[in-house]
Amino acid sequence: MVALRCTQRLIRRLRREVQVEVGPPSNALGHWYANVIAMNRLPLVLAISERSLLSVVVAGAPFNTLLERFPVALRELLHHLNVSSADIMREIEATTPLTVAATASRKVLGCLNQYAFELEVDFQYEPGKSLLERELWLSENISSAIRYCRPRELAVELVAWRTSQ
């Protein structure tokens, strides 16, 4: 089972049951932390992997279908990161179905807030970019939370390593 660990702001919009106890994740990228952010009056959901800090950005509305739309966006991002089709399929199967839980790591939440700030700046300076282009841009951000690696490199490594097990 994999959880979409949401901020209270996002939990209110999802109107879903929140799991109190969440076990270890069944996928390579771990649980996902998510928050709703507004860009040009458009609600977006920014989600980051707890293990790699890989970012997925999806339209917020309609919020009641977010849990179904998230794996589709993750699949597309992994495809653009040149992850093999077999590895993508295994990761998506292990990620679904998603459950909703509250955030549990201040470190990951801090990274989520930093990425939200960076997205806001990116929207101001490059308003024509697609959400996928923004995800790919965020995947290049080096972070001390993942030992100064790029999220894209760590995510590809984690997904491939899990498959080799």
Q: What does the pLDDT average to over 83-94?
A: 96
Is 163's pLDDT higher than 70?
A: no
pLDDT at 165: 59
Confidence band, pLDDT 50/70/90 cuts, at residue 91: very high
pLDDT at 95: 96
C-alpha dihedral sign at 117, 120, 125, 128: positive
Q: 13 is in which domain, residue-wise?
A: 2-164
Are 94 and 28 in contact by the 8 Å Cβ rule? The answer is yes
C-alpha R_g of the chain: 15
Q: What does the pLDDT average to over 91-109?
A: 96
Are 1 and 95 in contact by the 8 Å Cβ rule? The answer is no
Is 4's pLDDT higher than 80?
A: yes
* pTM for the full predicted model: 0.95
Confidence band, pLDDT 50/70/90 cuts, at residue 150: very high
CATH, residue 56: 3.30.420
For 21-70, how does the pLDDT look when each residue is reduced to its tens digit (9 = 90+)? 999 999 999 999 999 999 888 999 999 999 999 999 999 999 999 999 99
For 126-145, how does the pLDDT look when each residue is reduced to its tens digit (9 = 90+)? 999 999 999 999 999 998 88
Q: Count how many domains the chain has.
A: 1
CA separation for the pair 19, 41 (Å, rounded): 30
> Residue 27 has which token pair?
């996928």
